[in-house]
């Protein structure tokens, strides 16, 4: 087993397994898994998907997951940690932008089993990037930090590019082929901090729908009202910021266009069921923990 760890942005582990060993560490952010060799089955919450050499998976936080190994398998686990975003220094602006992109991945990935990458070229790119990160860590020095951070940003960009191409949103099964609803959801998530762009009239105009029909169309495809979807999308990002950043409640409220902290607190309590204070104390996601791991 080879375990490699940097101080801030991530932890990385390369390991060959003949049988699965349950790892007790829960993911506070998320973890990327690259299969270098072997074959078997991945399981997340009792949903199964076969894997082979080259498969790439994303393990969301607080999920029940395992790999049923049929042939000795070599894995690379790349864990995105929250510590990187808690350090406020001269690079905090750049890091915050990186955090926002990572939060987008975490908030929108559907948390079901299956290969993450849609592009074989991106799969090759990811192999190359992870090999570079592993090699740089083997010869780690203070000069390695900026290079590793740059490589990590490239990994994240690959994830974003492929997630935006995939049907990662929770849409009704019978309408998953409707490209417009997926584009609408992408648009909402990418503009979630700009309330003006999310008004019904603006959305209807942008997607060539009548304002009256937009609400009906959205509910039919997503099984929830447009207003509730936007609110819950914001609150998922609130959860991520509360558990993985040093942002104050005032900063979070301003960024996500809540009137003030009181408005944020009341909305959070209504939809999540607990207060912001109790949520932070518990330290576990609620809206993001979509699938319960039960037998």
Span 76-86, pLDDT tens digits = 988 876 665 55
Average pLDDT value for the chain: 80
Is 25 in contact with 52 (CB distance < 8 Å)? no
- The end-to-end CA distance of the chain, in Å, is 31
> How would CATH label the architecture of 2-165?
Sandwich (2.60)
Q: Which residue has the higher pLDDT, 90 or 250?
A: 250
Average pLDDT in the 231-260 region? 90
Choose the most confident range, by mean pLDDT, from 139-143, 150-154, 190-194, 203-207: 203-207
- Per-residue confidence at 179, pLDDT binned at 50, 70, 90? confident
**Cα 138 versus chain centre, distance:** 28
- Per-residue confidence at 64, pLDDT binned at 50, 70, 90? low
CA distance 25 to 110: 21
What's the pTM value of the predicted model, to 2 decimals? 0.71
96, with CB counted inside 10 A (0-12, 13-18, 19+), is middle
Parts of the chain belonging to CATH 1.10.10.60: 174-282
Pick from 161, 284, 287, 268: nearest CA to 224 = 287
pLDDT at 86 (0 to 100): 57
Parts of the chain belonging to CATH 2.60.120.280: 2-165
Q: How many CB atoms lie within 10 A of CB 141?
A: 7
pLDDT at 6 (0 to 100): 39
User: Domain spanning 174-282: which superfamily?
Assistant: Homeodomain-like (1.10.10.60)
């Amino acid at each position: 087993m080879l375990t490699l760890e940097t101080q801030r942005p991530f932890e990385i582990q390369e390991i060959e397994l003949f049988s699965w060993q349950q790892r007790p560490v829960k993911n506070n952010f998320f973890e990327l898994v690259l299969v270098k060799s072997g074959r078997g089955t991945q399981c997340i919450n009792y949903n199964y998907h076969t894997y082979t050499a080259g498969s790439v998976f994303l393990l969301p936080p607080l999920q029940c997951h395992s790999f049923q190994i049929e042939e000795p398998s070599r894995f690379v686990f790349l864990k995105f940690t929250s510590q990187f975003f808690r350090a406020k220094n001269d690079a905090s602006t750049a890091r915050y932008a990186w955090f926002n992109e990572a939060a987008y991945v975490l908030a929108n990935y559907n948390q079901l089993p299956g290969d993450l990458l849609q592009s074989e070229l991106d799969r090759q790119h990811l192999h190359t990037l992870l090999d570079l990160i592993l090699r740089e860590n083997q010869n780690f020095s203070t000069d390695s930090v900026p290079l590793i951070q740059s490589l990590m940003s490239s990994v994240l960009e690959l994830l974003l590019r492929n997630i935006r191409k995939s049907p990662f949103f929770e849409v009704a099964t019978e309408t998953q082929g409707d490209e417009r609803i997926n584009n609408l959801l992408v648009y909402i998530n990418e503009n979630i901090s700009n309330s003006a762009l999310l008004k019904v009239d603006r959305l209807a105009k942008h997607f060539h729908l009548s304002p009256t029909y937009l609400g009906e169309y959205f509910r039919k495809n997503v099984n929830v009202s447009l207003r509730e979807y936007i609110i819950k999308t914001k609150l998922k990002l609130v959860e991520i910021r509360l558990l993985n950043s040093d942002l104050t409640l005032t900063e979070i409220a301003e960024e996500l266009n809540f009137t003030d902290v009181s408005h944020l607190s009341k909305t959070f309590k209504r939809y999540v069921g607990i207060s912001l204070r109790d949520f932070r104390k518990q330290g576990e996601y609620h809206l993001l923990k979509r699938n319960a791991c039960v037998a």
